[in-house]
Structure 1
Amino acid sequence: MASILNNRIRGKNIVITGASGGLGEQLAYLCAKNGANLFLLARNKRKLDKIVATVHQQYAVKCTAFALDVSQGEQVKQVFLKIMKQAGTIDVLVNNAGFGIFAEAKNTDSADVEAMFSVNAVGLITCTQQVIPSMSKQQYGHIINIASQAGKIATPKSSVYAATKHAVLGYTNALRMEMSQVGVYVTAVNPGPIRTGFFQTADPGGSYLENVGRLLLEPEKVAEKIVRVMLSNKREINLPRWMNSIATLHTMMPSIVERLGKKAFFKK
């Protein structure tokens, strides 16, 4: 794991949703290594407790876990009240919880549509609303929303997932302007596919991983990029660069990109 990356977060209180594995877990370890106190949130408390034990064994920081389903609004409010009571302040919120299901629009189940929006978009917004008042009052803090390159360029078989991430980017871009008035930073993280458990749900058949496995980002490397910018005024993190270049080109010449990339886009 990388050496110390960011002294700004030493002694700060960081909340991470979706922290029971993958990118969230790696963020937890790296934030702890950089001296931050952690509040880890996810549905699976057993996995969280193992991460907390590892953090306490390796680093001299505070680390607390709460079971949380971000799609449950009242539960979100109660958990954040507990965090504020314990910590007094939240310095960084990382909205990492999310999932996707790859299917053509005609085959997408309505329950899956509702679930993806409830977690990826509504859950993210609900968590963010819990920290806006305190961060605004203290005129300090950082909200980091894990979006996706799918929020910039939609591809076949991910229509609903892409829609949720477009929603996240829209919300993040508006929030950034609002919070800039009170000195709070807002960052969107737009990674391509990451080598995590995400694909156990999104691609149970394994065809997408088989096609793009060599292009997957490593969660440790993505975590490093995020931790480096915590408590700094960074608008976006886009990974990998080549994929973001395609998304940027798509905004200027969508028809050409969709025509030339059609074969690749269908490799899910």
Structure 2
Amino acid sequence: MGKRQLDGLVIAVTGGAAGIGRQIAEQAAWAGARVAIGDRNAEAAAATASELGAGMRSYPLDVTDEASFTTFLDDVERDLGPLDVLVNNAGVMWVGPFDAESETATEAMFAVNVLGVIRGIRLAAPRMRERGGGHVVTIASAASKLAPPGEASYAASKHAVLGYLTGVREELRGSGVHISAILPGVVDTALAAGTDTGAAKLLSPDDVAAAVLRVISAPRFITTIPSYVGPLVAVSGLLPQGIRDVLLRRAVPDQVAAAAKADRSGYEKDALG
């Protein structure tokens, strides 16, 4: 498929009030798209939409609630027109030793990171298929392919997301509906505050947003940021376990150690309950 312009596309972004979602919304609006942001913090979403301007719309959205997600999609299509692109961006993360993680934190990560994505695709993709085209872009993580210590459940949630996307992509083959996954490393947002980047550089939300716009323009299934993460994982998978362990321990950060030095209590109280 050749490149397409974003001008006039209707794009909805979950978790769009701040961080990566905000930057995706802003860059998409600059490119001429009609953008809707949904966020469980409706006031923050409204403030972001007002600040970014360009006719951007905001809506309350709880991705863990079926009725909320359905209403979000209905309202976006009523106000802006048929949805061309859904960006599943909403996500949460707890960091620390596996045996210190609360049941509440574990359930929140799977409710938002996995079931929220599944819900968005299950509700949006059939509408797109009926119209003969559309695109769902999901912000996953390099943790979809790696599993840093200290992020065991988070990595499990992202592995689950990539598995789901892989299966759904095949079901939608030939329908005109594209499925894409963006797999960034550590991004400078509240979600990743206090964590270590390992051998990779710290990414900015703009880096991820730019990758999303490129993928919307020219659809592809998996995009890793930095780009070398994909080949690194592929090559490491061919190595004997002992050598693979040494390689990945040098490249992948130890988030148990990082979390011990950071105070993430404010973010985690707000995001995970």
TM-score by length of 1: 0.87
Secondary structure of 1:175's aligned partner: helix
Deviation at 1:261, TM superposition (A): 3.2
AA aligned to 2:41 is N
Q: How many residues are matched?
A: 252
Q: 2:13 aligns with which of 13, 16, 22?
A: 16
Structure 1's unaligned 5+ residue stretches are 1-5, 201-205
User: 2:220 — aligned with what?
Assistant: 234
Secondary structure of 2:5's aligned partner: helix
Deviation at 1:267, TM superposition (A): 2.5
User: 1:3 — aligned with what?
Assistant: none
Within 2, Cα distance between the matches of 1:231 and 1:130? Answer: 23
TM-score by length of 2: 0.85
Q: Is 2:188 the partner of 1:195?
A: yes
Deviation at 1:134, TM superposition (A): 1.3
Q: Is 2:252 the partner of 1:261?
A: no
Q: Is 2:43 the partner of 1:46?
A: yes
User: 2:202 — aligned with what?
Assistant: 216
User: 2:172 — aligned with what?
Assistant: 179
User: 1:249 — aligned with what?
Assistant: 235
Matches within 5 A, 1:96-135: 96-135=89-128
More deviation, 147-156/83-92 = 83-92
Contact 2:144 2:156 in 1 (8 A): yes
Secondary structure of 1:182's aligned partner: coil
Deviation at 1:213, TM superposition (A): 9.9
Segments ≥4 residues shifted beyond 6 Å:
none
Secondary structure of 2:173's aligned partner: helix
Deviation at 1:253, TM superposition (A): 2.5
Encode CA deviations 1:95-144: one digit per residue, 9 max, x unaligned.
Answer: 00001111222222111111100000001111111212211111111110
Matches within 5 A, 1:79-90: 79-90=72-83
AA aligned to 2:202 is L
Work out the percentage of aligned pairs sharing the same amino acid. 30
Contact 2:25 2:35 in 1 (8 A): yes
Secondary structure of 1:16's aligned partner: strand
Indicate how the Cα distance of structure 1 residues 214 and 141 shifts in structure 2: closer, same or farther if over 3 A, else same: closer
More deviation, 224-233/133-142 = 224-233
Structure 2's unaligned 5+ residue stretches are 256-273
Encode CA deviations 1:75-102: one digit per residue, 9 max, x unaligned.
Answer: 2122222223223310000000001111
AA aligned to 1:258 is D
Q: CA RMSD in A?
A: 2.0
